[in-house]
Amino acid sequence: MSTLTEQTHHSLIAGEPAPGTGGTTQAVDPARNTPTGPTFTLLGDGQVAAAPRAAAEAFPTYRKLTPEARAAFLETAAERIDRAGEEIIATAMRETGLPEPRLRGEVGRTVNQLRLFAGVCRAGDHHGVRIEPALPDRKPLPRPDLRQRKLPLGPVAVFGASNFPLAFSVAGGDTASALAAGCPVVFKAHNAHPATSLLVGQAMSAAVAEHDLHPGVFSLVFGPGNAVGQELVADPRIKAVGFTGSRSGGTALMATAATRREPIPVYAEMSSVNPVFVLPSAAAGDREALAEGFVTSLNGSAGQLCTAPGLLFVPEGADGDDLAARIAEKLSAADGTTMLTPGICSSRIEGEKKLAALDGVTEVGRGGAGPKENAPAPAVYSTGLETFTATPELSDEIFGAVCLIVRYGSADQLPSAANGLEGQLTVTLQTGTGADRDADAGSDTASENRVVQELLDALELRAGRVLFNGWPTGVDVGDAMVHGGPYPATSDGRSTSVGAAAIERFLRPVVYQNAPGPLQPAPVREDNPWNLGRRVEGTYVAADGRGQSPAEKGEHMAEGDSA
């Protein structure tokens, strides 16, 4: 049974409904172009301040929770979202046009992310403890007792994207990592999926209440990003921002955060065209599999994935021609599916028109429009490498299933083309079996292997994830994942928004010098009450107390050294 039985719903500030004075909104079912679901009031001028105020009140106690208490809270949130899964999926299908299997997968991912961060809390590596006991007899100067650990930054404002209504939304990766770090969260709901947002927000607030936490640990606010969102980021009680969405939205928030009296970090995941380089040996290989893999990756979720391949570098000549022809053939059998909002659909159509009108750009192939509203045909265009390098607009993201094939004459041209690219979430090398072969095997292989190495040297400086012989869509959420990259993929390429390491964004180090034992916080205390792995006198000591030298841990090795 639906929990959203009322006709009108409101923001949820510190667990309580907060009627807004800024008008109302209702979601649009993009498959039918009709309004759907209840009405939501939007916060008016000054109203959003109640959420950061409550978050700031919650921070002193929330940040001091034990690892176990914080982990248990995150697990309850996961459990509650899981239990509400069927209603969340049905609601999100109406609000986003995304198909059920995709949304079912996203509920699973959201729940698993919360559980992943519960595990991160328990493992405790993020406390980053480093201890150097006092050396009173050290010459020429004694050393003080130094104990470093990492602290949460404070309340975090989080903005989610329309294309991940669950995994990058109310209880998505940014929220989970901020809460795991010890930061209360104020989430600015995306106006494209308000009912989905409220259902998840209710689950979050119920988990807060179930664990007797201060209700300000989590708030959900409705309102236009360029008013309520801006006001939230300008609020002096907010200490960091997590954002996933458009380049224009992300840069607008960066500007606000940078011009505050106290500037704060903004971790914004924005735009990426995810170039894929098909090397000559790959083009000489299984072109049918390449064409199939590419079209599936391009057209999945109507191309509305931040990792969708928007640029495909293909060699000139017979192999490249045949690959392009196979892509056109597969594409002709592919239908468009409903996009997230009518606005996103019209931007995508405009983007394609602009691309098609550029000199030197020709259409390779297209699919069919989908049977429902807002479902344009997937399309692929082509240009030459010279035109591509001379036309910066050709590297712009078109959010949707549109890709540009760039034909190159010689693989030797690729490293310099790669050097001209903007920052990306992903780059992919299709090397076929070329890069696995012995460099001495033959001159063609040796020369391609050299190019692949040069390309890799250029690309690893431009992306958060480098893939070999695969397709960039589909992000594995785990300990080692990086979903980030240099600007404009993200506003700060030093971190990741997906995976366990995302917690680092919401922490900062502090060192206690000569702190008396009773005043030392638990992570750095001599008796190690939280049983954390810690670095003592430069040597990592595992949680079970066993000392390991840096060499045993495999640390401090230069790239290329063997273990």
Give the three-state DSSP class for 448.
helix
For the question of residue 559 being annotated catalytic, the response is: no
Q: Which is nearer to ligand NAP, 431 or 497 (CB)?
A: 497
- The Cα 112–Cα 92 span in angstroms is 19
- The Cα 442–Cα 152 span in angstroms is 55
Q: Name the β-bridge partners of 315.
A: 408
- The Cα 156–Cα 179 span in angstroms is 9
Q: Considering the rule CB under 6 A, would residue 230 count as an interface residue with ligand NAP?
A: yes
Q: Considering the rule CB under 6 A, would residue 462 count as an interface residue with ligand NAP?
A: no
The tokens for 365 are 């192939």
Q: Considering the rule CB under 6 A, would residue 167 count as an interface residue with ligand NAP?
A: no
Q: Indicate the residue type of 412.
A: D
CB of 10 to ligand NAP, least distance (A): 16
Q: Considering the rule CB under 6 A, would residue 244 count as an interface residue with ligand NAP?
A: yes
Is residue 270 within 8 Å of 488, Cβ to Cβ?
A: yes
Q: Which is nearer to ligand NAP, 157 or 364 (CB)?
A: 157
Q: Considering the rule CB under 6 A, would residue 30 count as an interface residue with ligand NAP?
A: no
CB of 155 to ligand NAP, least distance (A): 17
Q: Considering the rule CB under 6 A, would residue 106 count as an interface residue with ligand NAP?
A: no
Q: Name the β-bridge partners of 27.
A: 36
Q: Which is nearer to ligand NAP, 415 or 493 (CB)?
A: 493
Which residue in 311, 310, 369, 305 sits closest to 337, CA to CA?
369
- Residue 149 DSSP code: E
Residue of this chain nearest to ligand NAP (CB atom): 225
Which residue in 170, 152, 153 sits closest to 161, CA to CA?
170
Q: Considering the rule CB under 6 A, would residue 191 count as an interface residue with ligand NAP?
A: yes
Query: How far, rounded to the nearest angstrom, does the alpha carbon of residue 355 sit from its chain's CA centroid?
Result: 27
Pairing of β 218-221 and β 547-548:
unpaired
What residues from 254 to 273 belong to the interface with ligand NAP (CB under 6 A)? 269-272
For the question of residue 183 being annotated catalytic, the response is: no
Residue given tokens 């893999």 in the structure block: 293
Q: Considering the rule CB under 6 A, would residue 147 count as an interface residue with ligand NAP?
A: no
The dihedrals phi and psi of 78, each to the nearest 5 degrees, come to -60, -45
What residues from 59 to 98 belong to the interface with ligand NAP (CB under 6 A)? none
Residues near 260 by beta carbon (within 8 Å), at least 6 away in sequence = 233, 234, 236
**Applying CB under 6 A, which of residues 229, 293, 303, 523 lies at the interface with ligand NAP?**
229
Is residue 158 within 8 Å of 242, Cβ to Cβ?
A: yes
The dihedrals phi and psi of 276, each to the nearest 5 degrees, come to -120, 130
CB of 48 to ligand NAP, least distance (A): 12
Which residue in 63, 72, 82, 165 sits closest to 117, CA to CA?
72
Is residue 448 within 8 Å of 414, Cβ to Cβ?
A: no
Q: Please report the sign of the dihedral spanned by the C-alpha atoms of residue 96, residue 98, residue 100, residue 105.
A: negative
Cis before 140 (ω within 30): yes
Residue 137 buriedness (CB in 10 A; 0-12 / 13-18 / 19+): exposed
**Applying CB under 6 A, which of residues 245, 285, 400, 415 lies at the interface with ligand NAP?**
245
CA angle (22 as vertex; 19, 25 as ends), nearest 5: 85
CB of 417 to ligand NAP, least distance (A): 22
**Applying CB under 6 A, which of residues 47, 96, 110, 163 lies at the interface with ligand NAP?**
163
Q: Check 121, 183, 306, 345 and give the catalytic one.
A: 306
Residues near 389 by beta carbon (within 8 Å), at least 6 away in sequence = 417, 420
Q: Segment near ligand NAP (CB under 6 A), from 12-20, 127-135, 160-168, 511-519?
A: 160-168
**Applying CB under 6 A, which of residues 204, 306, 500, 503 lies at the interface with ligand NAP?**
306
What residues from 406 to 435 belong to the interface with ligand NAP (CB under 6 A)? 425
CB of 292 to ligand NAP, least distance (A): 24
Q: Segment near ligand NAP (CB under 6 A), from 13-21, 106-114, 188-196, 499-507?
A: 188-196
Q: Segment near ligand NAP (CB under 6 A), from 33-41, 107-115, 159-167, 234-242?
A: 159-167
**Applying CB under 6 A, which of residues 128, 201, 216, 225 lies at the interface with ligand NAP?**
225
Here's the x/- map for ligand NAP, 334-363, by CB under 6 A: it reads as ----------x-------------------
Total residues contacting ligand NAP by CB under 6 A comes to 29
Q: Which is nearer to ligand NAP, 48 or 323 (CB)?
A: 48
Q: Which is nearer to ligand NAP, 148 or 244 (CB)?
A: 244
Q: Which is nearer to ligand NAP, 330 or 465 (CB)?
A: 465
Q: Indicate the residue type of 96.
A: T
Q: Check 269, 397, 422, 448 and give the catalytic one.
A: 269
Query: For binding to ligand NAP (CB under 6 A), which residues are involved?
Result: 159, 161-164, 168, 188, 190-191, 224-226, 229-230, 244-246, 249, 252-253, 269-272, 306, 344, 397, 399, 425
Residues designated as active site: 269, 306
